[in-house]
Structure 1
Amino acid sequence: MKIAIIGANGQLGTDLTEVLSAQHEVLALNHADIEITAAGNVQKVLSALQPGIVINAAAHTNVPLCEKEPDKAFLINGTGTLNLARVCHDIKARFVHFSTDYVFDGSKQKPYTEEDLCNPLNVYGVTKLAGEYFALNYCEQSFVIRVSGIYGKVPARGKGANFITSVLKQANEKPEVKVVDDEILTPTPTFEIAKNTAELITTDAYGLYHMSCEGETSWYEFAKVIWETLNIKTPLQKASVKDFPLL
């Protein structure tokens, strides 16, 4: 199967490329190869390549920056997804789109399911929810996969880091590191997401999925494990989400 991975050099795209290349012909596409916000370019590139599956691992993921650049965030996360979904429909390709737990408001005191109502609280969540709608409604062969707390061997391109590299950098540069303790997540390595995605796309079970490891923790507890594993001496302090305003 010929698979086009968009955002192939990003945190998730890197592992998707590695895992899928073992059994498929992978077309690793980056921003220089395809401009997802330009409908004409998407049509031209994908029509020429004729992939059987298109995986969208590109997104504007910097949450604070999305608040400052809402139009750009919607263009990438919303319109870009719409452009891809439409072309996938036209060329009869399967479409895989990754979304986020930020489509929820976090008020539920237990794990969210695919049936729960969405209520995003920030621009990033709103634009990702729009992308979900476009993927599911403009390409009938779509998989929308929500992920949470992902980390991989390369940084998230939009942020310049992932959680692990970010807190390690702070530990080397600051007298103490503050990490939120009131936001719950399930840390999930991108390699596991890639392996599960590889299995999912061989089926016809199109629709919406939550994909993560088991269990739950806070960002602070996640950082605490990193501190203990690496024997980091820099003090680690609990903080609240309210201590880190988006603007």
Structure 2
Amino acid sequence: MTHATPLPSEAPQENPRDLSAFAHVDTWIFDLDNTLYPSHTDLFAQVDQRMGDFVAKLLDMERSAAHLLQKDYYKRYGTTLRGLMVEHGINPDGFLEFVHDIDHSKVLPDPRLGAALEALPGRRFIMTNGTTAHSNAITGRLGLDAHFEDVFDIVAADLIPKPAAETYTRFWDKHGIDPARSAMFEDLSRNLVVPAEHGMRTVLIVPEGTREVFREDWELEGREAPHVEYVTDDLAGFLERLPGALAPAAPD
């Protein structure tokens, strides 16, 4: 379902100009889809279409019924793939290859975001329910390849997607990450619950202004939830303000 709801550029639970809460952060973790690139690009709409096609063919269903089932699995299991594995025992490899075979040309270079990422102190990671190949295709288009230490994808997560608590723990353990010194940037509020519980700074990325986006109602909910500390529709702009906020005060 598409939406054209006016959204504030910033509506955090705390003072929107007080970014001092990030002063201790040395690890920056970013979701991929609808976070590092704007949701109005509708890149994920292509993935969504191919997931529906896969479900329809696999289960010999009408396309409309397959779409409803796909969304049900997505909401209940975190990803459509997880639902298909649990409910139908499918092999994930063919699914992942099929659904990520899309046209990435709508994603344009974003040198402003690249500069903002480069200015962040410490390490930077991508944590995605997609694949590393999908992530690399997107960061390549954005021109962000060199800005991330690693991509923690659905395969590295042992096919258990966010928001499962064990997936975050697996990620943190793999890279020696202290959640209390980290920040998480996500487009789904529910994926920020576990990070908030472990002391991470949490930032929800929402669609820009009044642009129409291909999102389900529940995906756009939760920006006022207590586990969401900051909300922005401009990731680069938000990051650009951080170095100045984190710099030590000049001596008198």
What's the TM-score, normalizing by structure 2? 0.28
Greater strand share, 1 or 2?
A: 1
More relative contact order, 1 or 2 (CA 8 Å, 6+ apart)? 2
What's the TM-score, normalizing by structure 1? 0.28
